[in-house]
Amino acid sequence: MRGIFCRIMVVLIPLLVLVAGSSVIGQTEDKATAVADSIPPELTEALELISEMEAALDSISAITFRMKRKDKDSRQVLRVQGRKYVETIDESQPKLLKILPVLDAKGIGADEVKRRYRRILIDVSDIYENAFDLWNFEIDALRDQRASASNEELGDIEQRITVVRDRLDKLLEGQMTMLIAADSLGLNTGEAWGQLESILKNRAENLVGRLQIAVGRRDQLRDKIRSAEKAHASESEIGSERVRLQYAQRRIDGVARSLDETVDLLDKRGYDSAPYRQFIIKSTGETCATPSWL
């Protein structure tokens, strides 16, 4: 009898444990579901966006570390990956900043979201600065290619430079928009503003130099074409220089436009924009935008 009893208990005990365990698991799952159901959807979305940005920042940090140990070609691949994570942050920030006022209006506590976002703002400012440097590096590499490019290659290179330059302009404008929105929510943005203003001032000075170089190159090409025409050179001989002149003018227009947009952002921060505006007019003979001081 004892042997039979033991055999029965050997079978019953695991079953009882399984049933009890299932009951506990079921209760835990029910509690988790109840908690999830009690969280407002707006808060859930805000937390998801925060998590996405934090994950993107972690990925960017990892990429930055890996870039120190890679060769030139591998670093370029990592730069492309890094830009994708920056774009993730660019997309998530506006969404979050639209949700936060909704949470406040509904009286939904979002202290954790705001606390984590304050931390992200500082990290994002560093990331934007790094992204800005990376895109500048990309433009410099394209400029090196342009120096020895044929007329057939120039069009593609100039277009790629324009795309990266426009991306930089949008990056800076987007960051300013985010900081203004963050200010309206009472978030601490002092350090982030300081970093952005430093980038804007350095970019404005850099673009002034670029515009001077571009205008000088255009004027050289004009003089060269005039001299060739006076020497009765054939159109086939002058044609190549005319093409380069067109691209030189396009370069001036692009740099002047970026400088104008950068100065607009500085103007919004209270910096004197008049000297830059005057320089643009003097260099290009036209106004990119109507300045407030005219």
Q: pLDDT digits over 191-236, tens only?
A: 889 888 998 999 999 999 999 999 999 999 999 999 999 988 888 7
- The pLDDT value given to residue 252: 94
Q: Following DSSP, what letter does each residue of 204-248 receive, concatenated?
A: HHHHHHHHHHHHHHHHHHHHHHHHHHHTT--HHHHHHHHHHHHHH
| Confidence (pLDDT) at 30 | 47
Q: State the Cα–Cα distance between residues 192 and 121, nearest whole angstrom.
A: 7
The string over 155-181, giving b where at least 16 C-beta atoms fall within 10 Å of a residue's C-beta and e elsewhere, is eebbebbbebbebbbebbeebbebbeb
Q: Which domains are assigned to the chain?
A: 41-153 (1.20.58), 189-294 (no CATH)
Task: Give the residue among 202, 210, 84 at the shortest CA–CA distance from 146.
Answer: 210
Q: Residue 70's pLDDT is what?
A: 65
Q: With a cut of 70, which residues of the chain have pLDDT below it?
A: 1-37, 68-73, 76, 286-294
Please, are residues 201 and 129 in contact by the beta-carbon 8 Å criterion?
Answer: no
Q: How far, in Å, CA of 43 to CA of 35, rounded?
A: 13
pTM (whole model) above 0.85 = no
pLDDT for the residue numbered 10? 41
- Report the pLDDT value the prediction gives residue 72, as an integer from 0 to 100: 66
Q: Tell me what pLDDT residue 5 has.
A: 42
